[in-house]
């Protein structure tokens, strides 16, 4: 497979009469863009805002982030989700870089939603404060889940994807000299790369929820119904994977993260130089122990069948998924595949809890990408997009309505105390994270 991602860097975003990209400026026709959002009759309210790094703006509850793209030659950016099922990872895709579409609830938040600050102390905790963002603030009539802690947010998330496709389409007749090429030949046609140590990446996207509609999607297929499968890395970078709605927020992988997965890109950089990058084993996270064991067996079998010398296991989430994470690490080590893991930790507010729920002596090479339990205190912001009260009212991970010692997460003056858990995609296990460990 060969994928060319043609980049159009966005220096600024503005509203105007015509949606177009000219000399680094993305102009958005707000009325047209909102019409795309409102194609779903479940959307009862929608508005668009532009936020940039350094703006004194707080976003809450943030539900999704997406990079605007356009598939050259036709077809949906997200096959099997926003359009017909087709192969991703081949051909040419245009991308509007240095920006994202953010989806924010006007009212209702949930366990999986988070916060973004575009300035101040909070900005350092999330990658998306560094981007120019077109923010969709919207509400829907999905009454059945408004006051549920766990929400599917389907109407809002799909509206974000349609909006991202609408924006990306403004590049369809343009050219750029900034082209990223991802070309990974078939396993038996690697030439000199075949003599290098081989590595496979094992991804464990969020797939715990047995009821459909909450989990990450693979070509539109709910990952809870998926057995581990081999995928070309280009598919992940080119819209095959969609973020789900369920996962404590700092551990979450947004669709933007799948589209730009830094660890995949780094392995591409090393391919043919220091390693032979075999590809992706897309696994899942399960609830029952036999399901976890079955997935680990599949992963180990695939790795050995592919001839992997080593593996990198990447976990989306923590808690129950830690058993899937360490299970894969142990299964791979048991068949002679040297393995490292990427995960975050949950030590509890008192710091006394076990960082990973499940551990094994063979899981002796784990990279920590942060602690979800770290306390963060944030001052008020001049502007709030969404509804700040959602942090405490709606059961967001990392926020609370009241604590006997700490009081509420959201204070009367608009300042906040919360756990890192509530920072949108804050730990960035995919490879953005700048967090590290310290010994005392």
Q: How far is CA 47 from the centre of its chain?
A: 23
Structure tokens at 73: 């030659």
Q: Considering only CA atoms, which of 178, 174, 171 is closest in space to residue 19?
A: 171
Sign of CA dihedral 257, 260, 266, 272: positive
Q: Considering only CA atoms, which of 67, 131, 55 is closest in space to residue 94?
A: 67
- Model pLDDT, residue 440: 65
Q: With 70 as the cut, is the pLDDT of residue 71 above it?
A: yes
Could you read off the pLDDT of 269-298 as tens digits, one per residue?
A: 999 999 999 999 999 999 899 999 999 999
Return the SS3 of 335: coil
- Model pLDDT, residue 61: 96
- The backbone torsions φ and ψ at residue 290, rounded to the nearest 5 degrees and listed phi first, read -65, -30
Q: Considering only CA atoms, which of 358, 184, 202 is closest in space to residue 270?
A: 184
Residues 130, 124: Cα–Cα separation, whole Å: 9
Task: Go through 394-410 and write b for each residue having 16 or more CB atoms within 10 A of its CB, e for each that does not.
Answer: bbbbbbbeeeeeeebbb
Q: What's the whole-number average pLDDT of the chain?
A: 94
Q: With 80 as the cut, is the pLDDT of residue 127 above it?
A: yes
Q: What band does 145 get if pLDDT is binned at 50, 70 and 90? A: confident
DSSP category for residue 215 = S
| Cα three-residue angle 337-341-344, rounded to 5 degrees | 170
Q: How far is CA 150 from the centre of its chain?
A: 17
Lowest-confidence pick of 161-175, 269-283, 392-406: 392-406
Q: Note the maximum CA span of the chain.
A: 64
The strand pair at 310-315 and 338-345 is best described as parallel
Give Cα separations from 39 to 6, 32, 43, 208 (angstroms): 28, 11, 8, 30
Could you read off the pLDDT of 300-312 as tens digits, one per residue?
A: 999 999 999 999 9
Could you read off the pLDDT of 414-429 as tens digits, one per residue?
A: 999 999 999 999 988 9
- Model pLDDT, residue 10: 98
Please, are residues 325 and 367 in contact by the beta-carbon 8 Å criterion? Answer: no
Q: With 80 as the cut, is the pLDDT of residue 437 above it?
A: no
Return the SS3 of 204: strand
Q: What percent of the chain has pLDDT over 90?
A: 83
Q: How far is CA 301 from the centre of its chain?
A: 27
């Amino acid at each position: 497979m060969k994928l060319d991602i043609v980049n159009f860097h966005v220096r600024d975003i503005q509203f105007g009469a015509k949606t177009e990209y000219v000399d680094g400026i993305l102009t958005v026709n707000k009325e047209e863009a909102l019409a795309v959002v409102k194609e779903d009759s479940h959307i009862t309210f929608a508005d668009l805002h532009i936020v940039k790094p350094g703006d004194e703006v707080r976003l809450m509850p943030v539900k999704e982030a997406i990079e605007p793209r356009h598939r050259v030659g036709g077809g949906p950016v997200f096959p099997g989700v926003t359009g017909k099922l087709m192969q991703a990872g081949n051909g040419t895709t245009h991308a509007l870089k240095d920006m994202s579409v953010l989806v924010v609830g006007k009212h209702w938040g949930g366990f999986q939603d988070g916060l973004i600050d575009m300035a101040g102390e909070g900005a350092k905790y999330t990658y998306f404060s560094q981007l120019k963002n077109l923010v969709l603030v919207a509400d829907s009539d999905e009454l059945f889940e408004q006051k549920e802690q766990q929400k599917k947010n389907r109407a809002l998330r799909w509206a974000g994807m349609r909006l991202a496709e609408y924006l990306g389409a403004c590049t369809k007749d343009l050219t750029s000299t900034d082209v990223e090429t991802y070309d990974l030949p078939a396993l038996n046609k690697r030439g000199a790369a075949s003599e290098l140590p081989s590595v496979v990446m094992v991804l464990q996207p969020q797939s715990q929820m047995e009821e459909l509609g909450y989990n990450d999607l693979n070509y539109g297929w709910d990952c809870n119904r998926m057995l581990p499968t081999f995928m070309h890395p280009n598919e992940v970078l080119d819209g095959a994977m969609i973020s789900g709605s369920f996962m404590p927020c700092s551990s979450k992988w947004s669709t933007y993260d799948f589209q730009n997965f830094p660890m995949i890109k780094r392995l591409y950089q090393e391919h043919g130089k220091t390693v032979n990058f075999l590809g992706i084993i897309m696994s899942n996270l399960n609830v029952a122990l036999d399901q976890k064991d079955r997935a680990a067996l599949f992963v180990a079998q695939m790795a050995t069948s592919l001839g992997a010398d080593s593996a990198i296991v990447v976990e989306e989430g923590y808690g129950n998924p830690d058993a899937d994470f360490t299970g894969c690490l142990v299964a791979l080590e048991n068949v002679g595949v040297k393995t490292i893991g990427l995960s975050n930790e949950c030590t509890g507010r008192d710091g006394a809890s076990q960082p990973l729920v499940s551990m094994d002596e063979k899981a002796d090479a784990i990279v920590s990408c942060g602690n979800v339990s770290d306390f963060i205190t944030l001052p008020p912001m001049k502007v709030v997009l969404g509804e700040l009260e959602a942090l405490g009212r709606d059961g967001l991970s990392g926020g609370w309505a009241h604590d006997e010692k700490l009081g509420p997460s959201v204070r009367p003056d608009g300042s906040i105390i919360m756990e890192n858990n509530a920072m949108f995609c804050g730990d960035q296990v995919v490879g953005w994270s700048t967090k590290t460990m310290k010994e005392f």
